[in-house]
Amino acid sequence: MSSANPGSTQFDRRQRPRLFSSSQKAHISVVVPVHDEEQNLLRLHARLSTALDRLRRTWEVVYVDDGSRDGSLRLLRGLAAADPRIVAVELSGNHGQHTAVLAGFERCQGEVVITLDADLSNPPEEIGSLVDALEAGHDVATGRPEARRGSLWKRLAQGATDRLASRILRRDLTDFSSMMRAYRREVVVRMLRSRELGGHVPALGVTCARCVAEVPVRQDPRLAGSPRTSLARLARLNRDLRLRAMEAEAA
């Protein structure tokens, strides 16, 4: 593992998980996977910083660049150099959103860990509601979009996957896709040790938690760029869920 600058880290997914600490202890860590988000990053960071300051708790933001081909990494390095609360993690290539989030989990050190997308479809202003749910005693707080966005095929496919996940994981939840979620530190540690369900972060978090809350959140249109959800990704999750069900029946 090598470092391009004090705030940037090279990450190789073949390495075993490593947990890092920082000289500045943060109560809240926000992990943001980034792939070709140059047009969104500065506006995201401004809104995210403001939202976190309003919570009146110490915080850090861990941006994970997942092999961006635009100027995203350059912007992230600049943000990290200007503020010790910002960490820029550079993956060795494009490994996918969920691998990027898990890499951020390995680097963050907050007692509360938030995930959200970089395209501003997850409004940073909703973070406070997720934090409130954890402070009420839940292990994981999942953001449930008040209205699904996207094409018809995407909404239908995601709805079918959510219903399958709810049945197989035996959780009365309606959304297993939104990246806007909050986790207690101990849940994040369990997730890093497990890596089941193909590393699908939302489903993995549910399996590692005892008490999960769904919190209604706003979902905004993507600010710029192209969405990353694909039929192939949903198909992989369906496959992993069915394999889990088969293993449970055989046990």
| Burial category of 196 from C-beta neighbours within 10 Å (exposed 0-12, middle 13-18, buried 19 and up) | middle
d(CA 27, CA 169): 30
56-60, 61-65, 218-222, range with the lowest pLDDT: 218-222
Q: Under a CB-based contact definition with an 8 Å cutoff, are residues 207 and 197 in contact? A: yes
Q: For residue 69, what are the contacts with CB-CB under 8 A and spacing of at least 6? A: 36
Residue with the bigger pLDDT between 122 and 228: it is 122
Q: Which residues lie across from 77 on neighbouring strands?
A: none
pTM score, whole prediction: 0.79
**175: pLDDT strictly greater than 90:** no
d(CA 251, CA 232): 29
Closest CA to 11 of 67, 75, 59, 61: 67
pLDDT of residue 91: 94
Closest CA to 200 of 100, 129, 86: 100
